[in-house]
Amino acid sequence: MQSAGRMRYGSYRVGRYGFTLVELLVVIAIIGVLVGLLLPAVQAAREAARRMSCSNNLRQIGIALHNYHDTFKVFPPAGLYRIGTSSDSFSVQARLLPFLEQENLQNLIDWSVPYGLQSQVAGTKVSTYICPSEINKQPRHDPKPHDPNFQYWVLNYGANMGVWMVFDPVRQLGGDGLIIPNQPTSMASVLDGTSNTVAFAEVKAWQPYLRDSGNPNGPGVPPPGSPSDVVLYGGSFKTNSGHTEWVDSRVHQTGFTALFPPQTVVPFTSGGTLYDVDFNSSREGISPSQITYAAVTSRSYHRQGVNTLFTDGSVRFVAKTIDLWTWRALATRAGGEPVTQSE
């Protein structure tokens, strides 16, 4: 009897320390709340790490830019276009390759042959040109008669090509940015000071844009006052191919302009869908006479602003709330504007 009592008591103690269904549900609920509280912090930490890695990419580009200048005494051009003809050209990014430990890739380039015929080059991913926060890090397939599998690789760092006017093929004039077509600029050209002049800033890959409306045209067209004024110029609409070709020198592929502050939305509706777009009145090298005006906004997935490389080699995070005139002043190399802030 005593033995049986002990067995019953022992059985009772085992049941006493088990989990009931209600207790289990409470524990699961508590774990869920804790995960919900911790997840934003984890995501924020990951984004901070990605943003730091993005800054490091820009620092590497800055070192490459300075080494290029030390070697050639000028900055690389934003394309070299043959006067009076239709042509394309390799990008600033392509010219910086040897200074980013990518000399083998640049050695594959035949500078006399269009990049659209050089699949081995165009289809190569250059990791330094891609921000870790970019949500669509993949090549863009562009089948061509000579190669149905032809593809381009995206990029997230655009050269500063000025505020609004990018290239006048008749007068052979570039814009007021650090990097311009057909003409070299140098440290001596940066009269506003290298610490007050942007060299590169972030851009989003797969950017929708309007192109080749031929409007506006003619010299001296003032900058439009608002995003809605820009889209009125119209053009052929491309839904997702901007900043998808690191080899292409044109501003909508490898540059940016400072017409609007970083992260500015330029709304355009097509087929019932609302897009945030860029604009290029006439792609550089397409027309021997039409001037290229462009609204190619600096954008990123960092939400509050963009990482920015300055000509002195420093990298700073520029908030989307920066004053418009300050942002434009930072984009000009010799505008003589006073810069009251740099973030």
Determine the pLDDT at residue 262.
98
Torsion of CA 61, 301, 326, 65, to 10 degrees: 10
- pLDDT-derived band at 51 (thresholds 50, 70, 90) equals confident
Q: What is the DSSP letter of 229?
A: H
The per-residue pLDDT for 38 is: 67
238 contacts: CB under 8 Å, gap ≥ 6 = 208, 209, 210, 211
In angstroms, the CA 203 to CA 226 distance is 20
3's CB contacts (< 8 A; 6+ apart) are none
Determine phi and psi for 209, rounding to 5 degrees.
-160, 160
> Does the pLDDT at position 287 exceed 80?
yes
What pLDDT does 339 receive? 79
- Does residue 6 surpass a pLDDT of 50? no
Is the torsion defined by CA of 133, 323, 212, 232 positive or negative?
positive
In the sheet with 292-295, reading across from the earlier edge strand, the strands are: 173-174, 165-168, 292-295, 278-280, 207-211, 236-242
Buried b (16+ CB within 10 A) or exposed e, 50-85: bbeebbebbbbbbebbbebbeeeeebbbbbbbeeee
pLDDT digits 0-9 by tens, 186-195 = 999 999 999 9
Backbone angles phi, psi at 3, to 5 degrees: -65, -45
The pLDDT of residue 26 is: 79
Q: What is the pLDDT of residue 82?
A: 85
Element (H or E) spanning 48, and its range? helix 21-72
Selection from 35-49, 56-70, 72-86 with the highest mean pLDDT: 56-70
Whether the pLDDT of residue 136 is over 90: the answer is yes
Residue 48's pLDDT is what?
74
Instruction: Summarize the chain as % helix, strand, coil (round to 5).
Output: 35, 20, 50
Between residues 281 and 340, which one has the greater pLDDT? Answer: 281
CB 157 within 8 A of CB 198: no
Provide the 3-class DSSP secondary structure of residue 200.
Answer: strand
Residue pLDDT, tens place only, 243-281 = 999 999 999 999 999 999 999 999 999 999 999 999 999
What DSSP assignment string belongs to 134-189? -S--SPEE--BTTBTT-EE----EEEE--SSEEEETTTTEE-SSSS-TTS---GGG
Whether the predicted pLDDT of 8 surpasses 60: no
* Listed range (28-42, 241-255, 309-323) with the worst mean pLDDT: 28-42
Which is it for strands 292-295 and 165-168: parallel, antiparallel or unpaired? Answer: antiparallel
Binned at pLDDT 50, 70 and 90, residue 343 comes out as very low
What percent of the chain is predicted at pLDDT more than 70?
91
b (16+ CB within 10 A) / e for 260-293: bbbbbebebeeeeeebbbbbbbbbbbbbeebbbb
Band of pLDDT at residue 292, cut at 50, 70 and 90: very high
* Residue 28 confidence (pLDDT) above 90: no
